[in-house]
A and B are shown apart, each in its own frame.
Chain A
Amino acid sequence: MPANLQSTFDLAQFEALLASRNEPSWLTSRRREAWEAFETAEQPDWRRTNLKGFNIADYTLAEAEVSVDFAGAEGVTILPLAEAIQSHAELVQRVLGSAVQTSRDPFSALNNALVNGGIFIHVAKDVAVEELVRIRYHLSNAGTVVAPRTLIVTERHSSINVIEEISSADFAGSAVVLTGAEIEVGDGGQVGFSSVQTLNSNVYLLGSQQIRINRDAQAEWLNVVVGSAVQHVTLEANLSGNGSSVNWNGLLYGNGKQNLLVAPKLNHIGLNTEGQINFKTVVDDEAYAVFDGMVKIPATGQGTNSDLRENALHLSKNSRSDSIPGLEIDANEVKAGHGSTSGQIDEEQLFYLQSRGLPFAEAKRTIVLGFVGEIIDMIPDEAVRERVETIVAEKV
């Protein structure tokens, strides 16, 4: 195993961890496989994610503090992942590992070896959940690695709206979050999933999220990234069912030396699926943000309607962003558009606001807050939205 992937706990300790968890054998063997993959993996070739100075061996395993805010409703099951592994083994076995794939890279493998402290949500068929489910994974201590995972499975014709915030205390040392969200939307159902990342600027976040959207089902997906030192997160929306759709929005806001990457992939697998991606990026100081997008329409995806938008705003000379909006089309009856812009604040906008009395700095701030506000306004929980607004207000 490459030197900088060594962990503080060796195989014996890992085995002891497995023994202490008393999990079903399928999971134990999956964890073992993942551990092995991690140990034997090559350092990933990530050109756009800066792991210089990062050594997983510097961190010890811990659990994130998990809180769930939900009054409860008929037909909705919300459990700590450890319990769901026992009580809903079949579902967990099916969904766990769909986004975080052991073969993807060593950190995904490690994520699957260590995953703990997550939340499992199940919605029975025909159940429409009104109340927003609020999950928060919070990291209190430097020097730790945590691996929480969110699993959501909805049966047909049901609906639920979930927000997940990954946050941390404002500690000085660094820490690692291995994250994952694995979601399945049942036929004709609806899932809203908002993932908001407000980690302090010393934390590394590595992970994957995936939503599988079945026949005639819809997903509203929101990814808001304002924190962390380095983030590398792959995202995948699988429009698997005919007539399925996703409306997908996101924001990356980096300043200081933040290096934030999302790699959203939209797969139009079924017939007549619809997907909209709209991401915004702001970079300031020496920050570097990456939108590595991909829309795939295989031969099965006839009747696809797809649109990808990505707009980046550069606020400083030394900030950078890369936008890679890929498009692969193997079906002939499709509508697929994409557009990507990047640039500085528009001089005409600045002048317009200044001409009404706003000083330069306030005009600039107003434009930036407006640019990101369109996305931030979509955060369905007021407290989380306010935390994001506070962080963004400090950045501008």
Chain B
Amino acid sequence: MSANNLVIRNLHVAVDGKEILKGINLTIEEGKIHAIMGPNGSGKSTLAYTLAGHPRYEVTEGEVWYKGQDVLDLEPNDRSKLGLFLAFQYPVAVAGVTVANFLRAALNAHRAQEGVDPKSTAIPMAEYRKVIKARMDMLEMAPDFARRYLNEGFSGGEKKRLEILQMAMLQPAMAIMDETDSGLDIDALKIVAEGVNKVKAEKPELGVLVITHYQRLLNYIKPDYVHVLMNGQIVREGGPDMALELEEKGYDFIREEVFGNAS
């Protein structure tokens, strides 16, 4: 098995003392698109935040292996440097910090090496300008976007596009998209999905975990595998067709099969 797969073993996670994830076993393969679908409250976002290292999520058991390391031992920034990327469901606004300055700081953090003067590894300004312009052009973003403060006063669509821009800039090896479709109309959804596909096309080895409640995003980002998360556990796994089946029948039929009743 490739060390470039993300391997989640028996992951238990609690929030404020309450167990949300109850033993997740899941492997996200290098270069593949996995979708996790599940009803509200099933633990989808908890899984996303836990993989990225949010301090509020307490791992009580289990491990997450990636590139030969248990990423649960790593700080969020070191997970990012290792190649993990989380596209937030609710991107956070940071006043006074421009998109351009932030992305440069993030890129430089990725380029920094221990014991080496960060000035010597920092991206030269001219090169940076070229890179960000190319990325923004690719995602059809207006130039003034880069001068705005991070997510401050952004529309829902703008926030999600900024997440994709960050992904395009940081070139992760494993991307987790947490309900990237939430709050988007169909046009915005298409633009964002197209952005993900462009990044993926450039870097075929990119593994993607798409977390979503609805099937519609999966019309635009085609998954290789679909996993159903319910009550903190993966209860079903299948191919792309399963998303359609869920769309048609809802989650209740699985709930009945797994837990014996609909409530």
Among the interface residues A355, A360, A377, which one has the most CB atoms of the partner chain B within 10 A? Answer: A355
Asked whether A370 and B97 contact (CB < 8 A) given A356-B106, A358-B109, the answer is yes
Please tell me if A369 contacts chain B, counting CB pairs below 8 Å. yes
Segment at the B interface, from A36-44, A85-93, A125-133, A345-353: A345-353
Give residues in A with beta carbon < 8 Å to B.
346-349, 351-360, 362-363, 366-367, 369-374, 377
Interchain CB contact under 8 A, B109 and A347: no
Q: Which residues on A sit within 8 Å (CB–CB) of B109?
A: 356-359, 362
Interchain CB contact under 8 A, B94 and A358: no
> Chain A nearest CB: distance from B120 CB in Å?
17
Please tell me if B166 contacts chain A, counting CB pairs below 8 Å. yes
Asked whether A370 and B77 contact (CB < 8 A) given A356-B106, A357-B106, A358-B105, the answer is no
Bound-state Cα–Cα, A348 to B76, Å: 12
Q: Which residues on A sit within 8 Å (CB–CB) of B149?
A: 370
Segment at the A interface, from B36-44, B49-57, B195-203: B49-57
> Chain A nearest CB: distance from B164 CB in Å?
13
Interchain CB contact under 8 A, A354 and B75: yes
Bound-state Cα–Cα, A371 to B56, Å: 24
Q: Which residues on B sit within 8 Å (CB–CB) of A353?
A: 94, 102, 106
Q: Which residues on A sit within 8 Å (CB–CB) of B96?
A: 369-374, 377
Please tell me if B88 contacts chain A, counting CB pairs below 8 Å. yes
Interchain CB contact under 8 A, B105 and A366: yes
Beta-carbon contacts of B66-94 to A below 8 Å, as 1s and 0s?
00000000011101110000101001101
Bound-state Cα–Cα, A372 to B170, Å: 27
Q: Which residues on A sit within 8 Å (CB–CB) of B56?
A: 347
Q: Which of B75, B79, B81, B88 contacts A352 (CB 8 A)?
A: B88
Bound-state Cα–Cα, A358 to B109, Å: 6
Interchain CB contact under 8 A, A356 and B166: yes
Please tell me if B15 contacts chain A, counting CB pairs below 8 Å. no
Bound-state Cα–Cα, A49 to B110, Å: 45
Interchain CB contact under 8 A, B54 and A356: no
Q: Which residue of A lies closest to B49 (CB)?
A: A351
Bound-state Cα–Cα, A377 to B91, Å: 25
Q: Which residue of B lies closest to A367 (CB)?
A: B94
Interchain CB contact under 8 A, B92 and A359: no
Please tell me if B262 contacts chain A, counting CB pairs below 8 Å. no
Q: Which of A359, A366, A373 contacts B75 (CB 8 A)?
A: A359
Report 30 cross-chain contacts, Cβ distance below 8 Å, ordered by A residue: A349-B92, A349-B94, A351-B52, A351-B54, A351-B55, A351-B76, A352-B88, A352-B92, A353-B106, A354-B80, A355-B52, A355-B53, A355-B79, A356-B80, A356-B102, A357-B77, A357-B81, A357-B109, A359-B75, A359-B77, A360-B77, A366-B97, A366-B105, A367-B94, A369-B97, A370-B95, A370-B97, A370-B149, A372-B96, A373-B96
Q: Which of A348, A356, A360, A371 contacts B95 (CB 8 A)?
A: A371
> Chain B nearest CB: distance from A247 CB in Å?
18
Among the interface residues A349, A351, A374, which one has the most CB atoms of the partner chain B within 10 A? Answer: A351
Q: Which residues on A sit within 8 Å (CB–CB) of B88?
A: 352, 355
Q: How many A-B residue pairs have CB under 8 A?
A: 80
Interchain CB contact under 8 A, A352 and B91: yes
Give residues in B with beta carbon < 8 Å to A.
52-56, 75-77, 79-81, 86, 88, 91-92, 94-97, 102, 105-106, 109-110, 149-150, 166, 170
Q: Which residues on B sit within 8 Å (CB–CB) of A352?
A: 88, 91-92, 94
> Chain A nearest CB: distance from B75 CB in Å?
7
Q: Which residue of B lies closest to A373 (CB)?
A: B96
Q: Which of B80, B91, B95, B97 contacts A357 (CB 8 A)?
A: B80
Q: Which residue of B lies closest to A347 (CB)?
A: B55
Q: Which residue of B lies closest to A372 (CB)?
A: B96
Interchain CB contact under 8 A, A358 and B95: no
The 7 closest A-B pairs by CB, nearest first: A370-B96, A370-B97, A357-B109, A352-B92, A373-B96, A354-B76, A357-B80
Interchain CB contact under 8 A, B91 and A356: no
Bound-state Cα–Cα, A367 to B152, Å: 13
Q: Which residues on A sit within 8 Å (CB–CB) of B79?
A: 355
Q: Which residues on A sit within 8 Å (CB–CB) of B53?
A: 351, 354-355
Q: Which residues on B sit within 8 Å (CB–CB) of A360?
A: 75, 77
Bound-state Cα–Cα, A358 to B56, Å: 18
Q: Which residues on B sit within 8 Å (CB–CB) of A357?
A: 77, 80-81, 106, 109-110, 170
Q: Which residue of B lies closest to A368 (CB)?
A: B96
**Known A351-B54, A356-B102, A360-B75; 4 more pairs at CB < 8 Å:** A346-B92, A355-B77, A355-B88, A373-B97
Bound-state Cα–Cα, A346 to B76, Å: 16
Interchain CB contact under 8 A, B97 and A356: no
> Chain B nearest CB: distance from A357 CB in Å?
4
Q: Which residue of B lies closest to A376 (CB)?
A: B96
Interchain CB contact under 8 A, A355 and B80: yes
Q: Which residues on B sit within 8 Å (CB–CB) of A374?
A: 95-96
Q: Which residue of B lies closest to A370 (CB)?
A: B96
Q: Which residue of A lies closest to B166 (CB)?
A: A356
Q: Which residues on A sit within 8 Å (CB–CB) of B106?
A: 353, 356-358
